[in-house]
């Protein structure tokens, strides 16, 4: 991982579908050299995946929430979360609650409906997201 690798990853952070040829022009290096660096970054596992980022709003999901959950039936609860399309992220956490999940629903009513269904597993505390300040920070933009 040198500065050139960091530059490649920064370009991909802005647009993961950028052609390698365009990247090679921007960093003044031959195209096969960039291809080889990319291959190594993928092989090392530094690059996990290339994802498309969709707009929840445009897909009709107008409510975002984080839900903290306390449960004793962990395996069943995890299965429930995996099978609930509204639950897009799930973390085990320390603290009074042992799970945190990110939820996308059409309305606050559909969020309430999900919470009703989850109540059999334990109890929850809900943080409604009023607005997102940022969520796409480049991991490499670190002042060292």
Partner DNA sequence: GTTGAAAAAACAGAGGA
Partner DNA sequence: TCCTCTGTTTTTTCAAC
In the set 2, 3, 109, 134, which binds its own copies (CB under 8 A)?
A: 134
Query: Could you say which of its own copies, DNA, none residue 36 binds, taking C-beta under 5 to 8 angstroms by partner kind?
Result: DNA
Report residue 62 as tokens.
């107008």
Q: Does 100 bind its own copies (CB under 8 A)?
A: yes
Whether the CB-CB separation of 56 and 64 falls below 8 Å is answered with yes
- Dist. CA 48–CA 42, nearest whole Å: 7
- Would you say 83 or 116 has its CB closer to its own copies? 83
Q: What is the DSSP letter of 119?
A: G
Give the one residue of 16, 33, 74, 128 binding DNA; rule: CB under 7 A.
33
Is the CB of residue 111 less than 8 Å from the CB of residue 65?
yes
Q: Shortest distance, CB of residue 2 to DNA, whole angstroms? A: 8
């Amino acid at each position: 991982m040198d500065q050139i690798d960091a530059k490649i990853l920064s370009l991909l952070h802005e647009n993961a579908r950028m052609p390698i040829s365009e990247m090679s022009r921007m960093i003044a290096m031959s195209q096969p050299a960039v291809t080889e660096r990319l291959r190594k970054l993928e092989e090392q596992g530094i690059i996990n995946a290339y994802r498309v980022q969709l707009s929840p709003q445009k897909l009709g999901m107008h409510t975002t929430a984080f839900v903290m959950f306390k449960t004793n039936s962990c395996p069943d609860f995890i299965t429930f979360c995996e099978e609930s399309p509204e639950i897009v992220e799930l973390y085990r956490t320390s603290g009074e609650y042992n799970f945190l999940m990110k939820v996308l629903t059409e309305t606050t009513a559909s969020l309430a409906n999900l919470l009703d269904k989850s109540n059999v597993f334990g109890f929850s505390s809900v943080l409604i997201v009023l607005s997102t300040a940022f969520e796409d920070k480049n991991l490499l933009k670190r002042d060292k």
